[in-house]
Structure 1
């Protein structure tokens, strides 16, 4: 996995730098998202590993499939696809897309916050949490919410590599650890 990430990083950076220069960050993100979905398709994946199909033909098939799913594709995106195919790197598209997303988030000063609560958050609670996290991080916060009734109450929050456990379950575990220590 680390090897794929290492190989994908320069392609993602090149795509992002070009997209930024052309004011096309969103369209490139869409392109990479759809292209990585196509590459992840079982039928296309088997086509990628078929030695009887040349690199140019693989690129053309991907470009054609993308064109059928969306109305737009720039010549630069088609060229990017051909370059990946030439170097036998089409299978890296999901990793390239992941790295591109990280570069975009960094550029736009966005961070992802993952909140798991015992009960669904109200719209007001979500908004307040998002605002407080934005103030504390100095970034635009993209809130990802999930529900886990086993928390009993409260919530856990993960932002980057920081994890905060404000759940009742977490407090009970802490209390148990203190009592048994």
Structure 2
């Protein structure tokens, strides 16, 4: 969950991207940058280490991103480095995604299953959720063997739990009430 600071920075970037009609491209680029920092956490540590001077940090940001990302995003990363907020990049990417999805009519859905869903199942669930929400669906499948079977669907602030684990827990509760 993004903090107020992260939301404000994300909103600023989003407003600039929207004004320039590059909000979708900026979303993809910001997500790629966030993923890069997740893949290489030591690089993020370098940019957040107080003992390394700002000029050196900005030099490394330029070396990695200049010419590879939109100049607005490069300036955003340099600003975050200068203001010592680069450690919040993941939260900012999440907040930007939320703003972009809201205005674009996109809904993020996570389906938690015991085994990975195949393409046909993913498409069927995507279509079902699009019908329910009236929005374009971005579906992510998360595998968790502890659900045993069925599916747990997380959409916006709601959760639909149709897993075997949940059914067994409900049955245990009912049996406990009968016996007690």
TM-score normalised by structure 1 residue count = 0.80
Q: Structure 2: which 5+ runs fail to align?
A: none
Q: Structure 1: which 5+ runs fail to align?
A: none
Cα distance, 1:88 vs. partner?
A: 2.5
Cα distance, 1:44 vs. partner?
A: 4.4
Q: Secondary structure at the match of 1:164?
A: strand
Cα distance, 1:53 vs. partner?
A: 0.9
* Corresponding residue of 1:157: 153
> Residues 1-181 of structure 1 correspond to what in structure 2 (within 5 A)?
5-36=3-34, 37-38=36-37, 41-54=41-54, 56-67=55-66, 71-181=67-177
Number of residue pairs matched?
175
Cα distance, 1:5 vs. partner?
A: 1.6
Give the conservation status (yes or no) of the 8 Å contact 1:31–1:73: yes
Give the conservation status (yes or no) of the 8 Å contact 1:111–1:142: yes
Partners of 1:167 and 1:140 in 2: CA distance: 25
Return 73-82 or 154-163, whichever deviates more. Answer: 73-82
1:154-181 per-residue CA deviation (whole Å, 9 max, x = no partner) reads 2221112211221223222212211211
Partners of 1:102 and 1:174 in 2: CA distance: 34
Q: Secondary structure at the match of 1:166?
A: strand
Cα distance, 1:18 vs. partner?
A: 0.9
